[in-house]
């Protein structure tokens, strides 16, 4: 591919700047065995969406141990600009590599170390040296969620053919909107490369559950109004139980399903329930709720799909006290539950903003406001309206994700054949 004059000038300047740059490329880990999907995130929203995308891809391809260092199969290399923090819920499933200077030397070191198989670049904020080097190294480049506002940089106004020459490096370009697609066509992107897919964002995926057990539990509850407090830390438990006690004064049959954020705190949960004289059942001990049971302590893992389907209201814990980070709101959104959350949800703030803005989530700050929210949402029509609003937000990006998944499946199949 012929290099444009603008790109040639940029690369020459970048090489000169290499000598003055501090340090150099510092890998964040060893390159794992197996296929590496390189996803570049220009925002926390894109980072969340990329993590979820590759999780789904790994499930579809039957890769149970994806992201495990040293294991074969499928892995995500998530690159971000300096200062963008890796989504903490990704944990060990993702290799995170911050990017700094854009010059040929760092690009070569990055590619030599990670040897990515496919690159998904999100939004824009193009890095000419890195993308050019990746293309020349044979890495298939796909631009996802192409956004007009992020494709141009103020400093490139003296390099008029920079953006068109970089866009030509991508094999596929997925535009966020019709307006972005028109802009891309004006820059010379051919129709066969271009698709208008919509906003790429994290979505909701229904969790598995035991249908027979769900029917048994529903029969045991006999239509009792049920709310869920999910991923709760013990330090906020007293506020949740206080809210349950307040709400129960108006709804005497109200039932709470309580799920600890970590099983390490299970014994502390049990002690608090005993000390508070709560009539409770313990799921790990085979406890089933009776008519007089006030709280079910769901102290196992693997049943979240069941709990979300039983409750009409889901309070997402690990969110009431300073220093907490929140819990994933996409889970209740996928199961038809109205979402309630505390003020400390930094890990998932973009998602909560989407749901709250659409009327699908409600913030609370203490036991009193939590009790008021639960009392208000006990009415089936209110919780259903709120849950539907959340579900509509959660499914907006489903077609975009499915389109990308199909494309990645084909590309990975081609790599395996080659």
Candidate from 233-247, 309-323, 350-364, 390-404 with smallest mean pLDDT: 390-404
Contacts (Cβ under 8 Å, ≥6 apart) of 408 = 37, 57, 118, 120
Say which residue, 140 or 34, is predicted with more confidence.
140
Domains of the chain: 32-203+397-417 (3.40.50.11720), 211-396 (3.40.50.2000)
pTM: 0.75
CA triple 290-293-298, angle to 5 deg: 95
Rounded CA separation 210/228 (Å):
18
- The fraction of the chain above a pLDDT of 70, given in percent, is 89
- Band of residue 45 on the pLDDT scale cut at 50, 70, 90: confident
Amino acid 93: pLDDT: 61
Rounded CA separation 300/313 (Å):
20
Write out the two tokens for 229.
Answer: 């407090």
Amino acid 409: pLDDT: 92
Question: Would you say residue 35 has pLDDT above 70?
Answer: yes
Tens digits of per-residue pLDDT, 328-355?
898 999 898 999 999 999 888 888 999 9
Question: Would you say residue 375 has pLDDT above 60?
Answer: yes
Rounded CA separation 394/38 (Å):
25
Question: Would you say residue 364 has pLDDT above 70?
Answer: yes
Amino acid 100: pLDDT: 79
The candidate with the shortest Cα–Cα distance to 415, out of 110, 115, 67, 70, is 115
Question: Would you say residue 65 has pLDDT above 60?
Answer: no
Say which residue, 152 or 355, is predicted with more confidence.
355
Say which residue, 235 or 159, is predicted with more confidence.
235
Amino acid 285: pLDDT: 95
Say which residue, 215 or 34, is predicted with more confidence.
215
Question: What is the dihedral angle through the alpha carbons of 226, 227, 233, 236, rounded to the nearest 10 degrees?
Answer: -110
Amino acid 249: pLDDT: 95
Amino acid 401: pLDDT: 87
Q: What is the mean pLDDT of residues 28-33?
A: 88
Amino acid 202: pLDDT: 81
Rounded CA separation 201/198 (Å):
9
User: Average model confidence (pLDDT) for the chain?
Assistant: 88
Amino acid 387: pLDDT: 95
Tens digits of per-residue pLDDT, 250-306?
999 999 999 999 999 999 999 999 999 999 999 999 999 999 999 999 999 999 999
Question: Would you say residue 413 has pLDDT above 90?
Answer: no
- The fraction of the chain above a pLDDT of 90, given in percent, is 61
Tens digits of per-residue pLDDT, 201-256?
887 778 889 999 999 999 999 999 999 999 999 999 999 999 999 999 999 999 99
- Band of residue 90 on the pLDDT scale cut at 50, 70, 90: low
Alpha carbon of 410 to those of 142, 201, 407, 417: distances in Å? Answer: 13, 21, 5, 11
């Amino acid at each position: 591919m012929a290099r444009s004059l603008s790109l040639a000038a940029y690369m020459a300047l970048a090489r000169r700047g290499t000598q003055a740059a501090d340090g150099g490329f510092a890998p964040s880990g060893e390159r794992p065995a197996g296929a590496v999907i390189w996803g570049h995130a220009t925002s926390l929203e894109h980072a969340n969406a990329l993590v979820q995308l590759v999780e789904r891809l790994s499930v579809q391809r039957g890769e149970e141990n994806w992201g495990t260092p040293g294991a074969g199969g499928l892995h995500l290399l998530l690159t971000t600009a300096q200062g963008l923090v890796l989504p903490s819920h990704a944990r060990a499933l993702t290799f995170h590599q911050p990017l700094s200077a854009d010059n040929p030397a760092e690009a070569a070191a990055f590619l030599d170390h990670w040897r990515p198989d496919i690159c998904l670049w999100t939004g824009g904020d193009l890095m000419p040296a890195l993308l050019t080097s990746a293309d020349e190294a044979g890495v298939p480049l796909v631009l996802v969620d192409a956004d007009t506002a992020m494709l141009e940089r103020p400093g490139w106004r003296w390099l008029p053919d920079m953006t068109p020459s970089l866009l030509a490096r991508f094999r596929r370009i997925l535009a966020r909107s019709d307006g972005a697609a028109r802009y891309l066509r004006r820059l010379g992107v051919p129709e066969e490369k271009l698709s208008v897919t919509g906003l790429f964002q994290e979505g909701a995926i229904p969790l598995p559950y035991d249908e027979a057990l769900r029917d048994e539990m529903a029969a045991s509850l006999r239509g009792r109004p049920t709310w869920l407090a999910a991923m709760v830390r013990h330090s906020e438990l007293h506020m949740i139980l206080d809210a349950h006690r307040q709400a129960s004064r108006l709804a005497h049959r109200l039932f709470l399903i309580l799920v600890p954020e970590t099983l390490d705190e299970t014994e502390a949960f049990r002690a608090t329930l005993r000390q508070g004289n709560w009539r409770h059942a313990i799921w790990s001990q085979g406890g089933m709720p009776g008519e007089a049971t006030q709280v079910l302590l769901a102290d196992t893992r693997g049943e979240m799909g069941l709990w979300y389907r039983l409750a009409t209201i889901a309070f997402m814990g690990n969110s009431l006290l300073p220093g907490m980070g929140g819990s994933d709101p996409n889970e209740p959104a996928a199961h038809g539950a109205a979402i309630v959350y505390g003020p400390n949800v930094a890990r998932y703030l973009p998602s909560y903003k989407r749901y709250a803005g659409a009327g699908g989530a409600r913030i609370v700050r203490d036991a009193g406001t939590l009790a008021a929210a639960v009392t208000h949402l006990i009415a089936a029509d209110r919780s259903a309206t709120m849950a539907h609003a959340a579900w509509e937000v959660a499914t907006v990006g489903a077609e975009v994700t499915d389109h990308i998944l199909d494309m990645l499946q084909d590309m990975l199949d081609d790599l395996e054949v080659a």
